[in-house]
């Protein structure tokens, strides 16, 4: 829909001609767009199933959206703050290597959000299985 005092959109798109060295030029169409979308989705699901118990993406904190309109909603943020990692007793260099995203600029404004994210980190840490890099030497925190 048109909003405010703007012109009515009436775009006349040009056909996209695929240049080819032999034969007539072909018009590029996008009729396969929905099928490609389905294929991408199926590939994502297959990848997630292949790495089954492992997470597909890095662990991110739960944050509240900004502004009065959206502040009741929560979403995943960029990374855990340094205070959250410290409270969960996870060193920052280690966190980056075990699939936890870190945002050094983020600050905690409430104790509730800090506690929620620390609980999230401790739960992740409890489920985490770490194998030693060298089979003979096991470091502290590695799963035997």
Whole-number average pLDDT of the chain = 89
Nearest C-alpha neighbor of 103 from the set 83, 84, 78: 78
In a domain, 71, yes or no: yes
pLDDT in tens, 24-60: 777 888 889 999 999 999 999 999 999 888 888 899 9
Q: Does position 82 have pLDDT exceeding 60, yes or no?
A: yes
Range of the domain at 117: 62-127
pLDDT value at position 135? Answer: 74
Segment 76-95 mean pLDDT: 97
pLDDT digits (tens, 9 = 90+) for 94-105: 999 999 999 999
Give a yes or no: residue 123 inside a domain. Answer: yes
What is the model's pTM? 0.66
- Report the domain count for the chain: 1
Measure the CA–CA gap between 86 and 94, rounded to whole angstroms: 12
Residue 13 has pLDDT above 90, yes or no: no
Question: What is the per-residue pLDDT for 53?
Answer: 81
Determine contact, residues 78/101, Cβ cutoff 8 Å.
yes
d(CA 102, CA 28): 43
Query: Are the beta carbons of 80 and 103 closer than 8 angstroms?
Result: yes
3-state secondary structure string across 110-123: CHHHHHHHHHHHHH
> Does 33 reside within a domain?
no
Is the predicted pLDDT of residue 19 greater than 80, yes or no?
A: no
Question: Is 42 part of any domain?
Answer: no
Can you give the pLDDT at residue 12?
77
Give 23-26's long-range contacts (Cβ < 8 A, gap of 24+): none
**Model confidence pLDDT, tens digit, residues 116-144:** 999 999 999 999 888 887 777 777 767 65
For the residues 67-74, what does the mean pLDDT come to? 95
Structural domain includes residue 114: yes
Could you tell me if residue 25 is inside a domain?
no
* CA angle centred on 51, ends 85 and 143, rounded to 5°: 50
| The pLDDT value given to residue 129 | 85
Q: Which of 130, 62, 64 is nearest to 101 (CA)?
A: 62
For the record, the structure tokens of 137 come out as 């030497």
Whole-number Å distance between alpha carbons of 43 and 56: 13
Q: Is residue 4 part of a domain?
A: no
Whether 27 is in a domain gets the answer no
């Amino acid at each position: 829909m048109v909003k405010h005092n703007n012109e009515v959109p009436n775009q006349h798109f040009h056909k996209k001609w695929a240049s080819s060295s032999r034969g007539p030029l072909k018009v590029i169409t996008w009729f396969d767009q929905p099928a490609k979308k389905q294929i991408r989705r199926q590939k994502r699901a297959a990848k997630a199933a292949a790495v089954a118990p492992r997470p597909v993406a890095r662990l991110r904190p739960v944050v509240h959206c900004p502004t009065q309109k959206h502040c009741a909603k929560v979403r995943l943020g960029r990374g855990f703050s340094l205070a959250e990692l410290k409270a969960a007793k996870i060193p920052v260099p280690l966190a980056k290597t075990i699939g936890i995203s870190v945002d050094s600029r983020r600050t905690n404004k409430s104790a509730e959000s800090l506690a929620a994210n620390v609980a999230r980190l401790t739960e992740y840490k409890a489920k985490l299985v770490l194998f030693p890099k060298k089979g003979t030497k096991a470091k502290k925190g590695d799963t035997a």
